[in-house]
Structure 1
Amino acid sequence: MIKELLLPDYIFESSWEVCNKVGGIYTVLSTRANTLQAHFHDKLIFVGPDVWQGKENPLFLESKTLFSDWREKALKEGLSIRIGRWNIPGKPIVMLVDFQPFFSHKNEIYTEMWNAFQVDSLHAYGDYDEASMFSYAAGRLVESFYRYYLSDNDQVVYQAHEWMTALGALYIQQAVPEIATIFTTHATSIGRSIAGNEKPLYDYLFAYNGDQMAQELNMESKHSIEKQAAHHVDCFTTVSEITNRECKQLLEKEADVVLMNGFEDDFVPKGAAFTGKRKRARTAMLRVANCLLGTNLTDDTLIIGTSGRYEFKNKGIDVFIESLYQLNKDEKLNKTVLAFINVPAWAGEAREDLVERLQSRKKYNTPLPNSFISHLLFEPEFDKITHAFKRLGMTNNPDDKVKVIFVPCYLNGKDGVFNKEYYDLLLGQDLSVYPSYYEPWGYTPLESIAFGVPTITTDLAGFGLWVNGLDTCNCINDGVEVLHRTDSNYMEVADSIKNTITVFASKTAEETAEISGKATAIAEKALWKHFITYYYEAYHIALCNAAKRK
């Protein structure tokens, strides 16, 4: 199959998240890099923003010798670039560009984009300018590199991720038409905005006009650059069929290829290492719970959890809390359930009273005040998660069968309570729940099953939709339960989550071990070695269209 496709000699990939761990795209790029590096070697080059100037970045290993001759020439062209390697498996080459100097030319750049592609930057605000100046700088960088080292005999692809890098793709298409361009939208800016503004996205998707909604929601500039890139690049892609529906309606352009998000399982411990880590994770979670709640929860407690960005509705945090409330009243539940909501919020230090208890060897039989939270919030009066607890009357009473703990910090090993990284706690769970309302792909449930933790998700997540296409029954007995979710079946979803947890709690150790194995088997189907072929197809389409343009 690969031999029949036209593949590039050089690949440039541009993203705000290159060496900059701020969201899900980082996972896409960093886990895929090793697979591409093995095939293209050092002709795979990532381009990112130099936002770590003056600070140590453990993800970036700088080199003074890589392309040193060209770097001096680029500096004379107004390009300040640091070159090195990304400290991830495969260690691909990375170029970080300083985009600050281009702010003084912002108006001229926007005028050029309007004249060439009708990109509307008049209504820009917030992060639009910063992203656009980086994107333009990245385009200039690739142009300079091409002029110095390459020629039209070289097959070159430039892939831009999200609206933040779309302007650079359009610049390259105009300035270096020999380079094939790919634009990947991971979530349409207007679709995310519709969902985030409490408007029904799915029932009325057929009736929405993207341009009209962008004007109504003050998203005109972001929507414009995204839409124009989708229509003008050599190959337009997205990450799931569910997002492709948005693209078709809101951007008026269907993706040429759907690039589903794979991952690598090289970070998942095996054998005795896994068993040991799981035991330590459960010990840590139960210890924190017992110190907070004044309980004596033991290892037969069913530990469940959710995690991700703090998008209360889009990530389904609201419906997860509702399901826990209903679960606590379910007479069929035959186990104590300990639920964690690991969602970073505007939080400060770990609670002193909790840390004091954790450092003691004592056992406690009285709960701490506000026993549902591990760290102090800066503005608790505005927090949606704790408000939901209060609204539903969830207090972690001693006789409650369901206990819930909100962990509002990044689990980076230095949080002051668990002092473990996210993955080192995830594998201690028995079950995870990600009932997303808006989720272009959904790495969190995929990561969960990679660690053998069965998961509940929805068919409004790209991952859930993909699982629906597999030859399984899509229920928890297969390792992944995919719930049908719409704009209006909130309570039905909450009830389904409650019922699934109740059923899962009644499973024997042998049954849960079998389910865990099935979950891992589904995760294996999503490895990059299976999904990378979609990228090869996108390269082929882009190169063929660029050849026509030349």
Structure 2
Amino acid sequence: MQIEAKLTPDYLFETSWEVCNKVGGIYTVLSTRANTLQQLYKDRVLFIGPDLQGDKNPWFIEEPDLYKSWREHARVNRGLKVRAGRWDVPGNPVVLLVQFEPFLQWKNNIYAQMWTDFGVDSLSAYGDYHESTVFAYTAGMIIESFYRFHHLETENVIAHFNEWMTGAGALYIKKHVPKVATIFTTHATSMGRSIAGNNLPLYTHLEAYDGDQMASTLNMVAKHSIEKKAALNVDCLTTVSDITARECVQFLGRQPDVVTPNGFEKGFIPTGKAYDEARARARHTLLNVAEKALGHPVDRDALLVGTSGRYEYKNKGIDLFIDSMKRLQSMKGIEREVIAFIMVPAWIKGPREALQKALAEGVEIASGQTTISGEKTVAGTEVIAEAIAPSDKETRPRAETAFSFTTHELVEPWNDAVTKHIQRQGFSYAPGSRVKILFVPSYLNGDDGIFNLPYYDLLIGFDLSLFPSYYEPWGYTPHESVAFSIPTITTSLSGFGVWAEQQDKGKSPFHNGVEIIHRNDENYAEAVEAIASVIRDFSLKSATQVTTIKRKAAKLSDQADWAHFIAHYQEAYRKALHNSFLRLSRPYTGNVR
């Protein structure tokens, strides 16, 4: 007699380096999905993250009595130090923060055991591999301890691990608690990101790449190895887009069981009058900073274009952004002034003092020369010859500048890829020039010293966003833009772009608030031309046309919220449990090596 299994989780553990640790896009994935998961599995969802900031963690609300008896048991019997509490995000899910550092002393033993059990090659490990892997291993121990202390043998339990950093946890669970169903999500394969980041053609030759061989070539053996072994040994492999699914097949040797696109939680976005007020405040701030940095007035109706994200110069398309703006500057028919903001955090000393002073006093910075090229200075320049290393002073021009198209002072502006590219393009910053770029190399967390507004509070003030990525497994930045009713331009190499294009069905530009630029390994110049043309055409649209596009952008984002996309995760949970039942019903044949 067949018994239909209940394919829903009773307990769900989700582990990531970015739980209560805001590093990148995975933080957004987990923190915005938490509310929907809480609604489905109230307090049966337990997020596990690294305890890196102690009592100063701004995203963690500690509850000393939560699971107190188990935590004491884990400490006494396994040496596990865990703080329990809530994640300070919508839904306030339960969080367990792990103090993994004491186990670093045994990392070589852990690596040896992973090699014996699964064939994970950690011999050439370096950098963040050590902390990430030991954290993940410790997280596996915590799940095992919780499982046994609370006698969950009769429950459906799932352990979900995100990205290569937590692969060791998935392998630990398979070995020590085989009844727990496992999921491994790769948000971007380590080899795909590395190949793209090393300026190698990823897409043209994808099917020809051998992942193991390329890992050796690019010094990525350890990270690739643990990612691949985790992918091959879990009950369910997921990834965030069809683009990354191709990478999984080629580099990890497994077709993902489910594609789980990233949703977004829109509940915090203002609406109605509050939206209009927030947009007006953001726009005033952006224009004010632009005027003070440039040293001359900026049109009140200037088209404000922005890009943001991690400082991945090629992968995020920052190079294409700059070249497209340069092409736009030379185009005919540009009637509106265009101010383009590149908002990617870099190595900075702090806010530019002259700009900060001008903003505080409400005065303009005196203008210098108006072209950035070679030894020439720019509007609002400050001489920083004294900041040059003594050995370099003889070889560098004495007119070295602080690059006043930046809002914050870079530690080594002459070595920064963005500033060098802007200089090389020779942008004109004269008052009559219609297109100008400002580089914002600071984290926008509300206290950067120049804008003093969080990123979302600035995003709402833009007219258009541009994310011309070369490597973008999903692409939260364009996704966030449409959620804020900001029309966006992205590429066919972005997971979100592919999804949006599927919704568009080949209709007119910005039909759903998103314009997709076709991009591949060979058409860089064509992409530059296409982006510049799209921005020029957008700048000529009437207020009524723009309002219509903004409404369509918001409508598209409604289809990409977690209320819709959580179904893909529920499918992954069902498959993980189903596959674990099948695995346990068969004779044990060993691990996949």
Q: TM-score range by the shorter chain?
A: over 0.9
Residue of structure 2 equivalent to 1:63 = 63
Give the direction of change, closer, same or farther, for the CA distance of 1:52–1:546 in structure 2 (3 Å limit).
same
Residue of structure 2 equivalent to 1:510 = 544
Q: Is the 8 A contact 1:240 1:259 kept in 2?
A: yes
Residue 517 of structure 1, CA deviation: 0.3
Give the Cα–Cα distance (whole angstroms) in 2 for the partners of residues 71 and 489 of structure 1: 56
Residue of structure 2 equivalent to 1:375 = 408
Residue of structure 2 equivalent to 1:114 = 115
Give the Cα–Cα distance (whole angstroms) in 2 for the partners of residues 266 and 292 of structure 1: 34
Residue 291 of structure 1, CA deviation: 1.1
Task: Give the stretch that moved more between structures: 259-268 or 474-483.
Answer: 474-483
Q: Secondary structure at the match of 2:330?
A: coil
Give the Cα–Cα distance (whole angstroms) in 2 for the partners of residues 221 and 371 of structure 1: 42
Give the Cα–Cα distance (whole angstroms) in 1 for the partners of residues 366 and 63 of structure 2: 56
Which residues of structure 2 form unaligned runs of 5+?
368-378, 382-402, 585-593
Residue 399 of structure 1, CA deviation: 2.3
Residue of structure 2 equivalent to 1:211 = 212
CA offset digits 1:277-309 (Å, max 9, x no partner): 111111111111111112221321111110110
Task: Give the stretch that moved more between structures: 395-404 or 203-212.
Answer: 395-404
Residue of structure 2 equivalent to 1:470 = 503
Aligned pairs for 1:374-453 within 5 A: 374-453=407-486
Residue of structure 1 equivalent to 2:164 = 163
CA offset digits 1:12-54 (Å, max 9, x no partner): 000000000001000000000000001100100000011113x
Residue 548 of structure 1, CA deviation: 2.2
Q: Is the 8 A contact 2:309 2:343 kept in 1?
A: yes
Residue 109 of structure 1, CA deviation: 1.3
CA offset digits 1:394-423 (Å, max 9, x no partner): 141222110111011011111111111111
Give the direction of change, closer, same or farther, for the CA distance of 1:356–1:392 in structure 2 (3 Å limit).
same
Q: Secondary structure at the match of 1:41?
A: coil
Q: Is the 8 A contact 1:186 1:239 kept in 2?
A: yes
Give the direction of change, closer, same or farther, for the CA distance of 1:281–1:151 in structure 2 (3 Å limit).
closer
RMSD: 1.3
Give the direction of change, closer, same or farther, for the CA distance of 1:474–1:549 in structure 2 (3 Å limit).
farther
Does the alignment pair 1:486 with 2:520?
Answer: yes
* Residue type of the alignment partner of 1:50: D
Q: Secondary structure at the match of 1:495?
A: helix
Q: Secondary structure at the match of 1:334?
A: coil
Residue 443 of structure 1, CA deviation: 0.2
Residue of structure 2 equivalent to 1:460 = 493
Q: Is the 8 A contact 1:5 1:537 kept in 2?
A: no
Aligned pairs for 1:339-358 within 5 A: 339-358=340-359
Does the alignment pair 1:36 with 2:33?
Answer: no
Give the Cα–Cα distance (whole angstroms) in 2 for the partners of residues 373 and 312 of structure 1: 16
Aligned pairs for 1:510-529 within 5 A: 510-529=544-563
Q: Is the 8 A contact 1:467 1:474 kept in 2?
A: no
Query: How many residues are treated as equivalent by the alignment?
Result: 547
* Residue type of the alignment partner of 2:515: E
Give the Cα–Cα distance (whole angstroms) in 1 for the partners of residues 295 and 437 of structure 2: 13
Residue 251 of structure 1, CA deviation: 1.1
Residue of structure 2 equivalent to 1:142 = 143
Aligned pairs for 1:41-440 within 5 A: 41-53=42-54, 55-76=55-76, 77-362=78-363, 366=367, 367-369=379-381, 370-440=403-473
Task: Give the stretch that moved more between structures: 295-304 or 7-16.
Answer: 295-304
Give the Cα–Cα distance (whole angstroms) in 2 for the partners of residues 275 and 294 of structure 1: 28
* Residue type of the alignment partner of 2:349: G
Give the Cα–Cα distance (whole angstroms) in 2 for the partners of residues 349 and 70 of structure 1: 45
CA offset digits 1:489-535 (Å, max 9, x no partner): 11111111100000000000010000000011111110101000111
Give the direction of change, closer, same or farther, for the CA distance of 1:488–1:499 in structure 2 (3 Å limit).
same
Give the Cα–Cα distance (whole angstroms) in 2 for the partners of residues 526 and 498 of structure 1: 27
Task: Give the stretch that moved more between structures: 67-76 or 292-301.
Answer: 292-301
Q: Is the 8 A contact 1:328 1:402 kept in 2?
A: yes
TM-score by length of 1: 0.98
Give the Cα–Cα distance (whole angstroms) in 1 for the partners of residues 72 and 60 of structure 2: 20
Residue 9 of structure 1, CA deviation: 0.2
Residue 371 of structure 1, CA deviation: 3.0
* Residue type of the alignment partner of 2:203: Y
Q: Is the 8 A contact 2:137 2:168 kept in 1?
A: yes
Give the Cα–Cα distance (whole angstroms) in 2 for the partners of residues 107 and 343 of structure 1: 37
Q: Is the 8 A contact 2:259 2:568 kept in 1?
A: yes
Give the Cα–Cα distance (whole angstroms) in 2 for the partners of residues 471 and 300 of structure 1: 29
Give the Cα–Cα distance (whole angstroms) in 1 for the partners of residues 477 and 22 of structure 2: 15
Residue 485 of structure 1, CA deviation: 0.5
Identity score, percent:
53
Which residues of structure 1 form unaligned runs of 5+?
none
Q: Secondary structure at the match of 2:496?
A: helix
CA offset digits 1:155-211 (Å, max 9, x no partner): 000000000001111100110011000000000001111001110000000100001
Residue 362 of structure 1, CA deviation: 3.9
Give the direction of change, closer, same or farther, for the CA distance of 1:477–1:504 in structure 2 (3 Å limit).
farther
Q: Secondary structure at the match of 1:394?
A: coil
Give the Cα–Cα distance (whole angstroms) in 1 for the partners of residues 37 and 508 of structure 2: 31
Q: Is the 8 A contact 1:468 1:474 kept in 2?
A: no
* Residue type of the alignment partner of 1:421: P
* Residue type of the alignment partner of 2:193: R
Give the direction of change, closer, same or farther, for the CA distance of 1:82–1:474 in structure 2 (3 Å limit).
farther
Give the direction of change, closer, same or farther, for the CA distance of 1:282–1:260 in structure 2 (3 Å limit).
same
* Residue type of the alignment partner of 2:153: D
Residue 477 of structure 1, CA deviation: 4.1
Give the Cα–Cα distance (whole angstroms) in 2 for the partners of residues 365 and 504 of structure 1: 32
Q: Secondary structure at the match of 1:340?
A: strand
Give the Cα–Cα distance (whole angstroms) in 2 for the partners of residues 178 and 361 of structure 1: 65
